Amino acid sequence: MVNVIGLGYIGLPTALMLASHGVEVVGTDYNESLVEQLNCGQGIFEEEGLGELFQKALDSGIKFSAQYQKADVYIVSVPTPYDAVSKKVDASYVVAAVEEVTKHCSEGAIVVVESTISPGTIDKYVRPVLEDMGLQGKIHLAHAPERIIPGNMIYELLHNNRTIGADDVVIGERVKSIYASFCQGDIEVTDIRTAEMTKVVENTFRDINIAYANELAKICREDEMDVYEIIRIANKHPRVNILSPGPGVGGHCIAVDPWFLVGDHPGLANIILAARKINDSMPEFVLKRIHQIRKERGVEEISRIGFYGLTYKENVDDMRESPTLQILKSMEEHLCGNLVKLYDPFVKDDLFPNQYHSLDEFLSEIDFVVLLVGHDEIKENMQKLQNKIILDTRKICDLDGTYYL
Ligand code: SAJ
């Protein structure tokens, strides 16, 4: 039996996927109301195909509980935030989960950490938990970092290649066989440190590449060149693949993981640090663009401003570290936080006093719209922006007169 600990964005789909492929699964989360909700068959976030997968898993007998179970394998997918000051990983949720597992499991159990952790975290923080309890060698540790992208999670769970880090090949192969129940990609078995490092390196690669696109956007803005046209043509080269500039990098992965390397290797992680700084500077750059456009068009003409999009990227409901929130925070520091109207079709709760829940109503209240997220909804309703002044930070709008980054 597999006990999945932590039923968030990664733990829940993983538990559902295992269950719907014939593995006996109990999903555990300390949040009792969440467990209750799941037991009533209600999902907790929107994701294409998640509803069907949930139904399949329920039909296959998945259970949810606030209690840890006696199981052969535990999959721990709890948050691993980073300390904003030291830039180091905060492994306290993982450590607490493993401590709790040791109270319920029997000898020979395997604890698989799926949460993203900085290289060395298992040796530094998790292994000592087992040593202190005299369980070294009696309970096995493994690391199986997740790789799925919100917005395409279900497909990627089935098809992405995966990495399993373990102390010995036998344990690695046992963990591999569990993931192979649903994963059709290649599954590499390696040691734990390599698996930890590989995951962080992957997200850092993407951060650096986004930073390159963002830096090009700034350079091209200074010289009045079209960065999108330049990237489009450059990407025709067989070995060039520049990503897209944007209002910043949000989410709980790419904006976070590179800091683990910076925190652990100050002085060595130079490109990585520069990339983080460039991406973190983009919300401020958007504010500058707004200011420039208002000056150019006359402040009077565009005093009613609206931000379209609050989530960290298109077609997801996740707002963590989103560029829009970063822009709002920056505006608040300049005492002008309430000047803008806000709207996002994926954010149903009332979180801001100036937030709207209908696109038409939102648009009727503004003259200047800043497109911060490329949700399908706005792509399908672009003609509704025809009489607005538009700043498009995602290059999704080709109406005449649109301003870009
Ligand atoms: N972004 C850009 N320009 C781009 C691509 C992305 O500005 O060209 C922005 C997005 O709008 C968003 C942020 O970057 O704000 C991150 O979005 P993303 O779609 O690049 O990635 P995430 O954070 O949703 O998921 C990443 C993925 N990692 C990689 O692609 C290397 C995913 O596979 C990981 O599982 C996930 O991090 C994770 O959990 O670690």
DSSP codes, 22-73: T--EEEE-S-HHHHHHHHTT--SS--TTHHHHHHHHHHTT-EEESS----SE
State the pLDDT confidence band at 46, using cuts at 50, 70 and 90.
Answer: confident
Mutate to test the pocket of ligand 1, among 48, 149, 232 (most ligand atoms within 8 A of CB): 149
Return the higher-pLDDT residue of 243 and 297.
Answer: 243
Report the SS3 class of residue 365: coil
State the pLDDT confidence band at 367, using cuts at 50, 70 and 90.
Answer: very high
Residue 301's pLDDT is what?
A: 66
Q: Which of 158-167, 175-184, 254-263 has the lowest mean pLDDT?
A: 254-263
Answer yes or no: same fold for 2-190 and 203-404.
Answer: yes
Decide: residue 270, CB within 10 A, 0-12 exposed, 13-18 middle, 19+ buried. exposed
Q: Which amino acid is at 173?
A: E
Residue 93's pLDDT is what?
A: 96
**Mean per-residue pLDDT, 241-246:** 98
Annotated catalytic residue, options 87, 105, 183, 199? 199
Q: Which CATH architecture has domain 203-404?
A: 3-Layer(aba) Sandwich (3.40)
Among residues 28, 32, 49, 51, which one has the least CA distance to residue 41?
51
- Per-residue pLDDT for 142 more than 70? yes
Place of tokens 């150019």: 296
At what angle are helices 192-222 and 270-297 packed, to 10 degrees?
30
Q: Is 40 a catalytic residue?
A: no
Query: What is the overall mean pLDDT for the chain?
Result: 94
Angle at 306 between CA 303 and CA 311, to 5 degrees: 155
Per-residue model confidence as pLDDT tens digits over 83-124:
777 777 889 999 999 999 999 999 999 999 999 888 999 999
Per-residue model confidence as pLDDT tens digits over 278-304:
999 999 999 999 999 998 888 766 779
Q: Is 397 a catalytic residue?
A: no
In this structure, the residues whose C-beta lies within 6 A of any atom of ligand 1 are 116, 146-150, 202-203, 206, 210, 243-244, 246, 249-251, 253-254, 312-313
pTM of the model: 0.93
Domain layout of the chain by residue ranges: 2-190, 203-404
List Cβ<8 Å contacts ≥24 apart for 273-280.
Answer: 274/211, 275/204, 275/207, 275/208, 275/210, 275/211, 275/212, 276/207, 276/211, 278/211, 278/214, 278/215, 279/207, 279/210, 279/211, 279/214, 279/248, 279/249, 279/255, 280/248, 280/249, 280/255, 280/326
State the pLDDT confidence band at 42, using cuts at 50, 70 and 90.
Answer: confident
State the pLDDT confidence band at 274, using cuts at 50, 70 and 90.
Answer: very high
Per-residue model confidence as pLDDT tens digits over 181-199:
999 999 999 999 999 999 9
- Per-residue pLDDT for 339 more than 80? no
Domain 2-190 part of CATH 3.40.50.720: yes
Residue nearest to atom 40 of ligand 1 (CA): 253
Write out the DSSP string of 185-221: S-EEEE-HHHHHHHHHHHHHHHHHHHHHHHHHHHHHH
